[in-house]
Amino acid sequence: MESLTFRHTTQKPLPGSVPSAITGVVASGNLEVLLERVLPPDACEVAIETPVTGYAAVWEAVVADFVARAQPGGLRISINDGGARPDTVSLRLRQGARLMEA
């Protein structure tokens, strides 16, 4: 099991007022993403638990891309991975951000 945490500074908070959201289901080839609006508006933290080791650089790139595109300021994001591919990770992160914008 590998635990990773990435912290980013954002230019703005994610719009909306929803306090939390969850997307996905932990299963083979998928992941569960919990988003919580608990950080300062210019901060984002992503914590990952994955059984697949040795892919920290890939996770870092996927998270950095999401943060650059979505500007999810104020969010703490927790990911429980079940072996998801990078495109699935991106999809779930975007879905979660969209739910938070309501």
How far is the CA of 48 from the CAs of 16, 29, 52, 93, in angstroms?
24, 15, 11, 12
SS3 87: helix
Q: What is the pLDDT of residues 21-42, one digit of tens each?
A: 999 998 878 999 999 999 999 9
Q: What is the pLDDT of residues 13-25, one digit of tens each?
A: 999 999 999 999 9
Nearest to 6 by CA among 97, 102, 84, 79: 79
11 pLDDT more than 90 = yes
In this prediction, residue 88 has a pLDDT band, given cuts at 50, 70 and 90, of: very high
What is the structure's pLDDT at 92? 97
How far is the CA of 52 from the CAs of 33, 45, 49, 76, in angstroms?
16, 20, 9, 22
What is the structure's pLDDT at 83? 94
In this prediction, residue 4 has a pLDDT band, given cuts at 50, 70 and 90, of: very high
Nearest to 51 by CA among 78, 25, 24, 26: 26
Q: What is the pLDDT of residues 44-87, one digit of tens each?
A: 999 999 999 999 999 999 999 999 999 999 999 999 999 999 99
Tokens for 87, please give them. Answer: 């495109």
Second CATH level (architecture) for the domain 2-100? 2-Layer Sandwich (3.30)
Domain boundaries, the chain: 2-100
Measure the CA angle with vertex 3, ends 92 and 55; round to 5°.
Answer: 70
